[in-house]
Structure 1
Amino acid sequence: MPQGCASICSTINQLESELQAELQKCNPAPPPPPKASVTLAAIEVTQVIQDLNQSVPLIAGKQTWARVYLSPNAALGAVTVTGTLQIQDSSFKFTTVQSNAPVALTPGTTLKQKRDSWAASLNFLIPANLTSSNSAYTLTLATVSAQGAGNVPCINCAATTQSVTYVNAPPMRLRIVPIQYTDPNNNIITPVTANFTLLTSWLGRAYPINQLISSVAAPVPTTIPLATLFNTASGCGGGTCGCGATNTLLSVIRVIEVFGLGFGPGPIDPRTHYYGMVLTDPNAPNGGFLRGCTPIGGYVSSGPVGLTGQANGDWYGGHELGHSYGRLHPAAAGATTTGFCGAGPGLDTSYPYPNGEISDSQDDFIGLDVGDPTIGAPVAARDGVTDFDVMTYCPPYWISDYTYKAILNGPSGLVAQDPSGNGPGGSTSPPQFTSGSFVSVVATINMTKKSGKIEFAQTVGRAYPVRFATPNKASLRFLDATGKSIAEYAVNVNAQSDVDAAGDTIGSIEATVPYPSNAAKLDLYFAETLIDERTISKTKPAVRNLKTTGPGVLVWETTPAAGPSLTYFAQASADGKNWDVIAVNLDKPELRLSAQQLRQYRQVRIVANDGFNNSAPAVIKLPAP
């Protein structure tokens, strides 16, 4: 080959090599496969209902969970992980919490799917000492560990934190009153302990409280005929039937227990709500089902409990007690007669979510039922669009953030009814009574027909201030012997949560007002219409010759006094110190004790009421069983 050609070929070969080298740079070797890792979508700190913006207040002292939502990348694939959560408080103290249980992660699972299932999130129980009053801290997911493979890198855990604070809430005070009746087969029907437990458990899990101060009263036989107690026909109106009549019974018991009898204070805190339970009995008229109702913003409610299982024993009481904290039936905007799923009048057309759901259609809010192993209730996430607010008639029931916040801070919510309980840790001061000469009045008003009745009145030695006002007012007016008005007091009228069977709105009054010593008559006015009146006797009734005429049968005589016909109530005691109300509104001087009462109690006392004044109690000792 000529020398010139060799030189050219060498140059071409060199250029070819350089070209191939440059081409290799344009087509680099494939990168190494990605490392297995997880990504953190959000940390949600929740007690009952919450969104990812943490807009629902956390109640100090209430069980709290952090839900952590993780996604594995394709390299990691489906995996089961645990983790540790680091909590930093305002003083820069760190607490490390282990996840409650492993969680199985699957690539492609959406954030909504994770929030909708308790089993799809990595869950951490916040230590109780970190949920105290005014606690504030920041949470960071510190480590993620795959089972059998050690720690897994988290792409964004260090940068994805959640900060929370806690607020105080007053305790909820509840007195459960078992309403007893005898069915047509002569069976004594009484709610049982399981019914009480279901209600208190549900309230503790779903309400914005960290403390439920509850008690169960002695069973109280209803004086209402069964055909009236379970009557929902249109001819049974004015609050004289069903739950309306039962609530009147509860108001009388509450007045006796809270304000005492004029010869001693009552044992019950005036901030206590009363809930009457009536056990369903298929043998009773109309199936023995008492449809519940409540004076809105009042202190008494009543409703049914089922024969077996959890039927009506939990959420139903939560619904009725929600009315007592001012909540109405959620309804669509513009609705006038019917709420979601057929709920009756007493509507809240400002409810923010469609169809009574506990969230908007984007499922921003997810509920959490922390469960109760003592009753077999599991921990469960509550879906925002398939669960419904407890104030609707749409099952399954939970509580929305709207209702939750209103029960806490609404115009007649927990804080309004007990402002002293909003201190550190929900601490509360003793009730501040005013001593003096007062009269407690229980009345029912048909607000539609402007009619009604003073159901009960008794003079008492103390009063408790009203903490909030209702939209409707009535007037209690005292007159002297000449008919001159000497005192007038505006009092709250709490409209019942449901209209009666005739379509009328029924209102309840439970008020304690000063009693002028020269008063001869008490008038009740509503909308400037005289509703009812009571003549005030200056001579108190007296009970005498209280005795037994047979096993469990007590009879007595009375000294007549001017005024309406006498009624009687009875209390019983096992120790002579603590007294249970066992009967009210008796219209005959006779009381029959059950075999259980004869075993339980050693003394009974009878008090007569003439429509205004109570007699001194007549006491009889019972023989030992």
Structure 2
Amino acid sequence: MRWNLVVLVTAVLSSTAAFSAEAINVQFLEVTQSVQDDRNSIGLIAGKRTFVRAFVEYHGASAASKVRGTIELKRAAGGVRTIDSLPSVETTLEPSENGKLDMKRKKLDRGLVFEIPQDWTGVGELAISLTGASFHNGTRLACSDCDKKGVAVSFKQGAGVRVVLLGMSYKRSGKTFAPRAVDYKSALSWLRRAYPSSDFEFETRVIDWSAAPQSFDKGLKSCNMANAAIAAIRKLDLASGKNALFHYYGLVYYDGTSEANFMRGCSSLPPSPDPSAVGSGPAGVGYDWDSSPSFAGWYAGHELGHTFGRHHPVSGCGDLDETGGDAAWPNKIPKNRLGTADEPFVAFDAGDSDLPTPMTVWGWDKAADVMTYCSYVWPSAHNYVEMCNRISAENGAQCPLSSPLMAAAGPAGLPNIAAGPGGAPLLVKNSSGLLMPVADRLGETAGAGSAMSGPVVSLTGRIDLDSGSGEISAVNRLDRSVEKAPSDKSAETPTIRSYDAQGRVLSDVPATVLLDSDRAAGDPRTGVVSGEVPYSNDIARLELLYKDKAIAVREAAPTRPAISQPTADLPRLNELLKGLNSLTAGPRQIGEFSKANGALTYTWHNQGSASVRYTVQISTNGGKDWNTVAVESPQRSITIDPTWIEGASTLDVRVRASDGIHETVSTSRPLDLGARLPLQ
């Protein structure tokens, strides 16, 4: 439906108002949430922050500054509301710019800017008209057509975006590096402002990345290691009941002192909807064009874009792609721009005063798509719609957006969601649009293309398909399956094989590979490898095989691991809680608890085999949910990050001691954070 030129009847300006000799007439009303053109061709998502940019022709002798305005909102049901323009945008009307809409749309202060109240952005139709404008002294400007020109828009229901942000804590020469509060907040804020959704569910968590390399390489090895750890954490979380639609992303802090501390980002790039795709990238400052307090926002937007199936356009800015780039990129648009003079898409960033980052607009000839390596990045109209398509497909819904520019406006029928590493197999029911976690149906037969019943051994690692090498990063026993083996096995499909102590094969199951993004033609095909085999007490050896060759091996110890019960350092708990109390007295930023004095540490002792590694999980609701905070760490202690227990009344710590295959689990006594004593 075309609604940008709908004529609306609006209220006549009051005859008692004082008018100046200068006058205006309406040129264009742009309604935007993230990116828009001069035809309002990008639809609107219900509940997302929405702005109206009113452009007028000004008939005066010289420029007028600090001009204010009002718009009227009308609902089909009869509701009416008047909104004033934002005082934070000091609008200038310049007679010399009459007729030059393209020029004005590239500047924030060349139009009157209004924010539609959120309770007026619900599903349904909305009519918008400019009712008048005035100088900063209150004198009204005569408007020749304010009662004749308006725009009608339609808000439609979008799908939700769920993201777990993991702060990857690592050490260099005894110093711990972890994301700052502003890094988390920048990432969350940018995704809310830029991504095609109004329904966001975020979780943040610091994890102990003890396996981090001593320096980060300039290629993809380091981020591939991070992604393997993140994939293992995601599977452990899912086995404990986490919603399988969460995308997991790791933030790795860059302090600006050394390139060895800058980890280049990469992600899994699934060809079909697959929430198990994980990614990681740096957070900090250091890009000349970015004046925000952290580049974590757009960097996360780029890498998460890969997990939603978006390729590099191959813009000429350094973003390469072994497949040749985004095959659906519109041929009308240069790959290093948001649009052209004929397709004038403008990026609109609502900003965030809490960071702070200002409200900004970028013209099509300055900004580039977020999936490029160019400067001033923002979602293009193409990728805004395509990400909406993928987000909607993961949720079993249809994207409400469309654009005549798009090569494809979205799938006619929703495909089955591929279950990759860590993704509880999800089926899309085309009739109802509901998602069902197949892994909850424990009666199915294990094998390629189906979930296993009963306990499983979950393996996560890294693989290089070209060199035929790999490694196992984590092995965990799960009470239930959270993924299924690939059904389209080929000559390059790796397998996981288990053996007993006599060398007899117990199981042989295909594994899934999610290749890394950001690879150029000729780069090795590296990625995360993941899979499951049925658990058995008789398993003595696990092999990761590629082309019938064992490329990584895990062996069980002759005796099962044994550890003492994790215990808390209670004297330090009082210091920690004192710091927490001081921080909760007033408003705070995400992660600000890290400023609390004192630290609560849990320790345990190895009472069995010499080679044991520890996966640590915590619960703040009495064991109902367990969040993983360390995977296969050699450390026999864990320091409780204060953000983990924010708002909690109890704390349980669970340690899973592994000999490489088998685990022994020991859980602390519940800790009453109010009384500061262990519960009996």
Give the TM-score of the pair, scaled to structure 1: 0.76
Specify the alignment match of 1:106 in structure 2.
Answer: 94
Alignment of 1:374-413 (within 5 A): 374-409=354-389, 413=390
Asked whether 1:190 is paired with 2:209, we answer no
Specify the alignment match of 1:168 in structure 2.
Answer: 157
Equivalent residue for 2:657, pick from 608, 621, 624: 608
Deviation at 1:356, TM superposition (A): 1.5
Distance 1:510 1:211, change over 3 A: farther
Asked whether 1:232 is paired with 2:218, we answer yes
- 2:565–2:666 CA contact under 8 A, matched in 1: no
Specify the alignment match of 2:614 in structure 1.
Answer: 568
- 1:454–1:532 CA contact under 8 A, matched in 2: no
Distance 1:215 1:539, change over 3 A: farther
Alignment of 1:215-614 (within 5 A): 215-227=203-215, 230-232=216-218, 241-259=221-239, 265-266=240-241, 268-281=242-255, 286-297=259-270, 298-306=276-284, 310-331=293-314, 339-346=315-322, 347-350=324-327, 351-352=329-330, 353-362=333-342, 364-409=344-389, 413-419=390-396, 432=437, 434-436=440-442, 437=454, 439=456, 440-463=458-481, 474=493, 476=495, 492-499=512-519, 503-511=523-531, 529-530=548-549, 532=551, 541-545=560-564, 554-558=604-608, 567-572=613-618, 577=623, 579-586=626-633, 588=634, 590-594=635-639, 604-614=653-663
Amino acid at match of 2:176: I
Distance 2:637 2:461 in 1: 27
Cα deviations across residues 287-324 of structure 1 (Å, max 9, x unaligned)?
31111111113532111122686242221111111111
Distance 1:294 1:221 in 2: 17
Deviation at 1:244, TM superposition (A): 0.7
Distance 1:599 1:98 in 2: 42
Cα deviations across residues 118-148 of structure 1 (Å, max 9, x unaligned)?
2111122112122113x21222223344555
Deviation at 1:546, TM superposition (A): 5.1
Asked whether 1:181 is paired with 2:170, we answer yes
- 2:485–2:532 CA contact under 8 A, matched in 1: no
Stretch of structure 1 that moved more, 94-103 or 322-331: 94-103
- 2:227–2:267 CA contact under 8 A, matched in 1: yes
Distance 1:549 1:38 in 2: 71
Deviation at 1:371, TM superposition (A): 0.9
Distance 1:79 1:283 in 2: 44
Amino acid at match of 1:125: E
Distance 1:160 1:513 in 2: 65
Gaps of 5+ in 1: 1-33, 234-238, 260-264, 332-338
- 1:279–1:307 CA contact under 8 A, matched in 2: no
**Alignment RMSD (CA, Å):** 4.2
Equivalent residue for 2:83, pick from 97, 115, 118: 97
Amino acid at match of 2:615: F
Distance 1:509 1:116, change over 3 A: same
Stretch of structure 1 that moved more, 80-89 or 195-204: 80-89
Amino acid at match of 2:308: Y
SS at match of 1:91: coil
Amino acid at match of 2:388: L
Cα deviations across residues 317-370 of structure 1 (Å, max 9, x unaligned)?
111111111112122xxxxxxx43112335524433325212224461011111
Amino acid at match of 1:42: F
Distance 1:123 1:416 in 2: 34
- 1:175–1:274 CA contact under 8 A, matched in 2: yes
Distance 1:48 1:287, change over 3 A: same
SS at match of 1:544: coil
Deviation at 1:44, TM superposition (A): 0.9
Specify the alignment match of 2:116 in structure 1.
Answer: 126
- 1:477–1:485 CA contact under 8 A, matched in 2: no
Deviation at 1:576, TM superposition (A): 5.4
Specify the alignment match of 2:426 in structure 1.
Answer: none
SS at match of 1:37: strand
Specify the alignment match of 1:69 in structure 2.
Answer: 55
SS at match of 2:371: coil
Distance 2:518 2:360 in 1: 32
Distance 1:461 1:287, change over 3 A: closer
Deviation at 1:614, TM superposition (A): 3.5
Amino acid at match of 2:277: Y
Distance 1:35 1:508 in 2: 69
- 1:179–1:221 CA contact under 8 A, matched in 2: yes
Higher helix share: 1
Distance 1:173 1:388, change over 3 A: same
Distance 2:112 2:641 in 1: 51
Amino acid at match of 2:96: G
- 2:539–2:556 CA contact under 8 A, matched in 1: no
Distance 2:82 2:643 in 1: 57
Distance 1:196 1:430, change over 3 A: farther
Distance 1:95 1:540 in 2: 73
Cα deviations across residues 488-520 of structure 1 (Å, max 9, x unaligned)?
55x653210123999202122345687799999
SS at match of 1:55: coil
Deviation at 1:177, TM superposition (A): 1.4
Deviation at 1:283, TM superposition (A): 5.9
- 1:543–1:607 CA contact under 8 A, matched in 2: no
Amino acid at match of 2:108: W
Distance 1:545 1:315 in 2: 44
- 1:486–1:519 CA contact under 8 A, matched in 2: no
Stretch of structure 1 that moved more, 442-451 or 213-222: 442-451
Amino acid at match of 1:591: R
Distance 1:95 1:442, change over 3 A: same
Deviation at 1:40, TM superposition (A): 1.3
Deviation at 1:525, TM superposition (A): 6.0
Distance 1:183 1:538 in 2: 31
Stretch of structure 1 that moved more, 146-155 or 273-282: 146-155
Distance 2:489 2:118 in 1: 41
- 1:177–1:220 CA contact under 8 A, matched in 2: no
Equivalent pairs counted in the alignment come to 553
SS at match of 1:474: coil
Gaps of 5+ in 2: 1-19, 271-275, 287-291, 401-432, 443-453, 570-600
Amino acid at match of 1:163: A
Distance 1:446 1:287, change over 3 A: closer
Deviation at 1:106, TM superposition (A): 1.6
- 2:268–2:307 CA contact under 8 A, matched in 1: yes
Stretch of structure 1 that moved more, 449-458 or 204-213: 449-458
Distance 2:377 2:22 in 1: 41
Deviation at 1:180, TM superposition (A): 1.7
Cα deviations across residues 371-395 of structure 1 (Å, max 9, x unaligned)?
1111121111122111121211111
- 2:293–2:355 CA contact under 8 A, matched in 1: no
Equivalent residue for 2:31, pick from 45, 51, 64: 45
Amino acid at match of 1:571: Q
Distance 2:77 2:105 in 1: 31
Distance 2:532 2:147 in 1: 59
